[in-house]
Amino acid sequence: MEIHTADVLSASASGEPGSYQFSVEIRSPDLGCEQYADWWEVIDEDGNLLYRRILLHSHVNEQPFTRSGGPVPIAADQIVWIRAHMHPSGYGGAVLRGSPGAGFEPAELSQDLTAEFDPRLSQTEPLPEDCAF
């Protein structure tokens, strides 16, 4: 069985420390509600969820797509990870690492870190209630 994942291609942050707005570009193999990127999130280096932007519908005809969200309560120099989640297959695509002050670059989550917090975060609120289309 092929596992489909959503990739975070780029991200930027604007605003003030403690209240940043993020703009995140995602590419995902959306087919409709049966397979689509259902959120992107910002996590700290300990795997704590800082912010999650729920995506209310699939983006079959809009690839890649960009969605904004916030506020994200972090300092200008705080290192965070930005990644996307794919329904129904979960995490696994390209991620970014960086800070609002320095910007965000492609990175790889370590297997140890991923195994530790992926199962916990995939069940952490907020979660999508439904897919519109």
**Which amino acid type is present at position 13?**
A
The tokens of 44 are what? 């700290």
- Is 127 inside any structural domain? no
Domain span including residue 14:
7-121
**pLDDT for 109:** 75
- Is 48 inside any structural domain? yes
pLDDT tens over the chain, length 133 residues: 577 999 999 999 999 999 999 999 999 999 999 999 999 999 999 889 999 999 999 999 999 999 999 999 999 999 999 999 999 999 989 999 999 999 999 998 776 566 667 778 888 999 999 898 9
Evaluate whether 88 touches 28 at the Cβ level (below 8 Å). no
Q: Is the dihedral of CA 62, 68, 74, 76 positive or negative?
A: positive
**How many CA atoms does the CB half-sphere of 115 hold within 13 Å?**
3
**How many CA atoms does the CB half-sphere of 44 hold within 13 Å?**
10
Please tell me the distance from the alpha carbon of residue 54 to that of residue 109, in angstroms, as a whole number. Answer: 22
**pLDDT for 42:** 97
* CATH classification of the domain holding 64: 2.60.40
**Per-residue pLDDT tens for 33-57?**
999 999 999 999 988 999 999 999 9
- Is 46 inside any structural domain? yes
Centroid of chain to Cα 55: 10
Mean pLDDT of the chain: 92
